[in-house]
Amino acid sequence: MSSTGGAARVAVVTGAGSGIGRAVARLMLADGYRVALAGRREEQLLETADGHRNALPVPCDVTAPDDVERLFESTRRRWGRVDVLFNNAGVFGPAASVDEISLADWNATVAVNLTGSMLCAAAAVRSMKAQQPQGGRIINNGSISAHSPRPRTVAYAVTKHAMTGLTKSIELDGRAFGITCGQIDIGNTATEIMDTIGVGSGALQADGSRRVEPMFPVEDAARAVLLMANMPASASVGSMVITAAGMPFIGRG
Contact (Cβ atoms closer than 8 angstroms) between residue 35 and residue 236: no
Catalytic residue selected from 79, 92, 106, 156: 156
Beta strand pairing call for 210-211 and 203-204 = antiparallel
Contacts of 57 (CB under 8 A, 6+ apart): 16, 37, 42, 45, 46, 48, 49
- Where residue 181 falls (left for φ over 0; alpha for ψ -120 to 50; beta otherwise) is beta
Contact (Cβ atoms closer than 8 angstroms) between residue 59 and residue 42: yes
Helix locations, 102-217, DSSP H: 103-110, 117-130, 154-174, 192-196
Residue 112 main-chain phi, psi, to 5 deg: -80, -55
Has 33 been annotated as catalytic? no
Q: What is the Cα–Cα distance from 139 to 226, expressed in whole angstroms?
A: 10
Neighbours of 132 (CB within 10 A): 9
Contact (Cβ atoms closer than 8 angstroms) between residue 164 and residue 183: yes
Active site residues: 156
